[in-house]
Amino acid sequence: MKAKKTNKNCSNIKDRFYKTISKRVGLEAGWVQNHIAGCPKCQRRLASLGRVNLALSMIKSMPHGTDLLGKANSQAIGVLKHSLRNCSKAEKLRKILPNPTVFEKCWTYRNTAANSAACIAILCLMKVGIFSSASKLQAESQKIVKQYYEQAGKDLADDIFSA
């Protein structure tokens, strides 16, 4: 019981510590806001950060091609120092292509697979349902016909239904 209480206290202290640090050092801190209001360079950086966040959210919401990684790397390399832009590792980053897993490749066909599986299941259920209903109908029909002929005569009914 005491260990749970200690963990809860640690969690509360950690949350308070994070909130306090964020208020003093984060973007919401008054001195940071005052600095950004008077510094054109930081305003441009903050605007760039906002554009990056917007672009990332758009990328997440839209389908993209396989060349996206190369385009993103090229843009990222473009903001580096000139000496870093021209090194061999930067060139490799420009040309790299993603290597999706088999699961990621198949994920695009998930709706088609689910629809196909549903159709197959419906067909199987229909087949089972139709044939079981047909056999029930046949058995009931035989009972009715047998009852009719039994009323006409026992010998006649035995001759027809014994085969």
Q: How confident is the model at residue 4 (pLDDT cuts 50, 70, 90)?
A: low
Tens of pLDDT, residues 16-73 = 887 887 777 777 778 888 888 888 888 888 888 888 888 777 777 666 666 666 777 7
Closest Cα to residue 146, out of 122, 134, 130, 163?
A: 163
Structure tokens at 75: 């843009």
Tens of pLDDT, residues 105-123 = 787 788 888 888 888 888 8
Verdict on whether the full-model pTM lies above 0.85: no
Q: Residue 1: is its pLDDT beyond 60?
A: no
Closest Cα to residue 143, out of 131, 155, 161, 130?
A: 161
Domain ranges of the chain: 1-62, 65-99, 111-161
Please tell me the predicted confidence (pLDDT) of residue 57. Answer: 79
Burial class of residue 90 in the structure, from the number of CB atoms within 10 Å of its CB (0-12 exposed, 13-18 middle, 19+ buried):
middle
Closest Cα to residue 93, out of 72, 79, 107, 113?
A: 72
- Dist. CA 132–CA 121, nearest whole Å: 16
Number of Cβ within 10 Å of residue 112's Cβ equals 9
Please tell me the predicted confidence (pLDDT) of residue 74. Answer: 76
Q: Give the amino acid at 57.
A: S
Residue 153 falls in which region: left (phi positive, over 0), alpha (psi -120 to 50) or beta: left
- Dist. CA 151–CA 104, nearest whole Å: 70
Tens of pLDDT, residues 124-135 = 877 777 666 777
**Which residues does 101 contact at the CB level (< 8 Å), separation at least 6?**
none
Q: How confident is the model at residue 148 (pLDDT cuts 50, 70, 90)?
A: confident
What's the chain's average pLDDT?
Answer: 76
